[in-house]
Structure 1
Amino acid sequence: MSFVVVPASYVYLLRDSARGTEVLLQLRRGTPYMDGHWAAAAAGHVERGETAFAAAQREATEELGITGVDLAFEFTMQRTRGGEPIDERVDFFFTARAWQGEPRIVEPDKAGELRWCEVTDLPEPMVPHEAYALSRLGGTQRYLSHGFDNDLGGQR
């Protein structure tokens, strides 16, 4: 059985504080997917003819109103939910510690709040695969998987 893989890019803005590393998260509101859950402040599908890197830059501008985002590639995650072909995803995760402008909610119909959170103390509920991704930031793995019956927790 063949299926279509849906690619998406995620941007985690990071900053250092007296408490440790913080990540900027958005509360999803008014969306059909994981409404009411905390997620990356900027993320979205990679469009036809676009690289994952370019999609991350575009999403940061569209969703947060920032430019010049100094992206660092973290890892790729292959994920599914229930093993249904429509849910086969490949996600590209980036972090950034430098950008131009002040992050703000540009799409209020999709985001209810932006909040800086300690990476080690995330709000709940979190989008599950994103909580998993945040727990792996800064590691050496460049491939993770999530949601498969034979998942080894990304240890491949």
Structure 2
Amino acid sequence: MTQHFPLSTGIFVIVRREKRVLLLGRSHTGWKGSLLNLPAGLHHGGDPLAVAAARELQKETGLMAAPDGLRLVHLMHCRSSDSGAEWLSAFFLAERWAGEPRLIEHGGHSYLGWHDPSRLPPGVMPHTAQAIKCALDGVRYSHFGWAEQLACYGERGD
């Protein structure tokens, strides 16, 4: 039997309010601690990506979004420079949500704030910064961490 290449999937949610995006400061996670990121998590299977994205958004920020209120806006193929591991990252835009964002996972996050996506602060995970730019520019696909680095290319959305 042929063994297929395993590829994990990360899910990220871009929440916009008044032309700003919501970022969380990571802490005590064991991976990329103290960097800023979008609400995110790993997809563990068992449900569609949009369902998992809505669950992660609520789990990390308290915001409630129906899966049909999330729109897939960017797909990124990532490769880690230190281990060579590969994964896909699916970025959703929250078009509708309810509630006010708050820190829920105090053991995993220490900061929550709104930022202008055209002037992201230092400390945003590099692949996340690239994906935010690509997604908001209407670019559907990019890759990150490969020797040939082509940021924000590919087919643009409608």
TM-score by length of 1: 0.87
1:55 aligns with 2:58: no
Count of matched residue positions in the alignment of Structure 1 and Structure 2: 150
Q: Distance in 2 between matches of 1:127 and 1:111?
A: 14
Q: Distance in 1 between matches of 2:83 and 2:52?
A: 25
Root mean square deviation, CA, Å: 1.9
- Confirm or deny: 8 A CA contact 1:15 1:97 kept in the other structure: no
Unpaired runs of at least 5, structure 1: none
Deviations 1:29-72 (A, max 9, x none): 111111011110x1000112222111101101111112135212
Q: For 2:139, which of 131, 138, 141 is the aligned residue?
A: 141
**Matching residue of 2:77:** 78
**Matching residue of 1:46:** 43
| % identity of equivalent residues | 27
3-state DSSP class of the match of 1:74? Answer: strand
**Matching residue of 1:92:** 90
**Matching residue of 1:37:** 35
TM-score by length of 2: 0.86
3-state DSSP class of the match of 1:130? Answer: helix
Q: Distance in 2 between matches of 1:113 and 1:83?
A: 27
Q: Distance in 2 between matches of 1:66 and 1:22?
A: 16
Unpaired runs of at least 5, structure 2: none
